Amino acid sequence: MNPLASNPLRSRADFARAAVQLWSPLKPHFSAGCARVTLSQTGTHFGPVASALEGFSRPLFGLAPLAAGGGDFADWDMFRTGYANGTDPDHPEYWGTPRANDQRLVEAAAISFGLLFAKEQLWDAQTPAAQANIAAWLKACLACQVPDNNWQFFHVLDSLALEHVGVDHDRTVREDCLQALESYYLDDGWYADGAVRRFDHYTPFAMHLYGLLYSKLAHGDDARRQRFRDRAATFAQEYQHWFDANGACIAYGRSMTYRFAMNAFWGALGFADVEALPWGQIRGLWERNMQWWGQRDVYDRDGVLSVGYLYPNLLVAENYASPCSPYWSMKSFLPLALAEDHPFWTAPPVEKQQATHQYAQPITGVIGYGNSDDRIMLTGCCEMRRSHKGGAEKYGKFAYSSAFGFSVDHDSDAFFANPFDNMLAFSRDGRSFTVRRDIDEAVIGDDWVFSQWSPEPGITVDTWLIARAPWHLRYHRITSKHRCLVTEGGFAIKREDDDPEHETAKNGIAKVQSEGQFSHVINGPTAPRQGVVRRAMPNSSLMYPRSFVPHLTGKIEVGETWLSAAVCAGINADKTEESALSIPDFPDVDTLLALRKSGRPVSGMTLREPDPLHMNRVLLEQIGFEALQPNEVSDEV
């Protein structure tokens, strides 16, 4: 049941109503003491109390701005009671004593956000004893160590909230965190999320959003506040091209279950009075994405936001995604704190501009291109080295899309069944497989990006990705000490039944059309491969429970092998002219080698977290294991 189904999401009043409509299905799930919300028994790496705290705290990202903007909400008494009971060590619904790197520290940011925007409702009406408990709990959070990443901003929000309600506390923690956050900034509006090579939605919906909050809510510190504003304005120039004209945004990276939080950056620009683009464009980008999500049934039977993306799907969720986690999406409602006469609300939404814009980002190793119906990123830098589910699929694919999302390969023994959309997979036994996970070199040009990677010891791959809208070209030079099967997928499209509208699978060609969408993969002038259309494993795609993926499947021998392909997809198969689908010319090998030499190094490559072997080096030393190097092959192989 979609609680927004009848809401047009156009006016400020519509969005005020939407914030309450999204919260209302949670109301029956509040505990007797109003400090916890329990939705189901599925687990996370943290305990059920912290998960229940998520359900209580995260809706405040929408409800508190509603209060700040003068909006009506009838159930503040529940939240007042929850604040009091959740921070009372003697109450059975106490949220617990925070510890280093604890999930409670994340939710403390939402609790602090509530105090910053709804002080009258959540603080002023509390008893002195309750105020003392709330302050003590937040100060205990502030004293805890947080990871070296966006979590540093949680302490900043805690400090701002304590300051806002007049509680004395150690402000050196805030300054230390701000100094750490400054060190994460790279250039062109991009932050690193600590010392990691992942440039994803955490830059807009975490780094910039919190920085813009600080720029508006902090006192003094004028130079830093202006830096946060300037960086956000710079980032907006690129981030606008992640959104297509329909309102969809490129699905990329982790935490996709936060859904419409991807548009929160645009609302934060409004809140901070940063006109990075004309107000009508900012409003349009925010509003269209909200409307796009408003038309999707991403809820459980009772209207509660589900874990997943375009449908409920635990298979794509990380180990920190609890049943309550999706309410991080409520960050999108920050503009409700603005008055009705603010230009964010008075400027008529402007349609998407520069729909065909193409760009190269030398920090993140991305080539962006596309059209009004789909924005696409070709990627050559990012990686996930921690054990988050689907790390390779969320960061290591060759292309990511606003229209087609991405899939997660959730069966480790399914070389012939996993989707492998926009990936090149290797297998020596026809069951297990390896794909691009870690990237060892990356350079970029105006319309291409190169990466060198090793899927396993004994195999090195040089990959060129070249934008030729609406197509992109792929070249792979593979140097292998093993004989392998290889398969390479295009974009995954929607499947209702087993039989698509059109399907072509023959030597060198794989094409499929279904539900008005199409996806093509055409072999280039290199080693031959067989076209195949896969009925991917169910629930592997973020976008659809069932999907088709066109593939080129072949083999490589020991030594050097070149593979190439042209890849294209679209959402309006019947309206796409054949002339627009003319396959672009493939460059020759000499041209590719010259491109690699002429390219700019991707500066984000200087960041890298340790690999799993180094993360577990103490255990490895205890058992006497020595890891193979990327191109080293043991005698037993």
Same domain, 341 and 367: no
The string of pLDDT tens digits covering residues 347-381 is: 999 987 777 899 999 999 999 999 889 999 999 99
The string of pLDDT tens digits covering residues 8-31 is: 999 999 999 999 999 999 999 999
Residue 444 DSSP one-character state? E
pLDDT of residue 610: 79
Same domain, 387 and 311: no
- Domain boundary residue, one of 324, 346, 368: 346
Tell me which residue of 467, 402, 472 sits closest to 239, measured CA to CA: 402
Same domain, 374 and 319: no
Q: Is residue 453 part of a domain?
A: yes
389, burial (CB in 10 Å: exposed 0-12, middle 13-18, buried 19+): middle
Give the residue ranges of DSSP H helices in 151-196: 152-164, 172-183
Q: Token pair for residue 481? A: 């000490």
Instruction: Compute CA distances 66 → 111, 338, 363, whole Å.
Output: 15, 9, 37
Task: Specify the number of domains making up the chain.
Answer: 2
Q: Is residue 636 part of a domain?
A: no
Rounded CA gap, 555 and 40, in Å?
A: 46
Same domain, 307 and 430: no
Kindly calculate the radius of gyration of the chain based on its CA atoms and give it in whole angstroms: 25
Same domain, 110 and 81: yes
Q: Is residue 262 part of a domain?
A: yes
Rounded CA gap, 165 and 136, in Å?
A: 13
* Residue showing tokens 């609406």: 470
The string of pLDDT tens digits covering residues 45-58 is: 999 999 999 999 99
Residue 632 has pLDDT above 70, yes or no: no
Q: Domain range spanning residue 514?
A: 359-609
Same domain, 98 and 191: yes
pLDDT band at 624 (very low <50, low <70, confident <90, very high): confident
Same domain, 452 and 318: no
pLDDT of residue 634: 43
Residues 61-82 have a mean pLDDT of: 98
Same domain, 322 and 398: no
pLDDT band at 577 (very low <50, low <70, confident <90, very high): low
Same domain, 328 and 379: no
Q: What is the pTM of this model?
A: 0.95
Same domain, 256 and 158: yes
Q: Give the SS3 label for residue 476.
A: strand
The string of pLDDT tens digits covering residues 427-444 is: 999 999 999 999 999 999
Q: 288-325 burial string, b = 16+ CB within 10 Å, else e?
A: bbbbbbbebebbbeebbbbbbbbbbbebbbbebbbbbb
Q: Is residue 579 part of a domain?
A: yes
Q: How much is the mean pLDDT over the chain?
A: 94
Same domain, 342 and 468: no
Residues 550-567 have a mean pLDDT of: 98
pLDDT of residue 631: 55
Q: Rounded to 5 degrees, what are φ and ψ at 153? A: -70, -25
Q: Rounded to 5 degrees, what are φ and ψ at 623? A: -95, 0
pLDDT of residue 627: 65
Residues 89-97 have a mean pLDDT of: 98
pLDDT of residue 382: 87
CATH number of residue 99's parent domain: 1.50.10.20
Q: Is residue 459 part of a domain?
A: yes
Q: Between vectors from CA 498 to CA 494 and to CA 503, what angle results, nearest 5°?
A: 75
pLDDT band at 607 (very low <50, low <70, confident <90, very high): confident
Residues 285-308 have a mean pLDDT of: 97
Same domain, 104 and 208: yes
pLDDT of residue 481: 97
Q: Is residue 628 part of a domain?
A: no
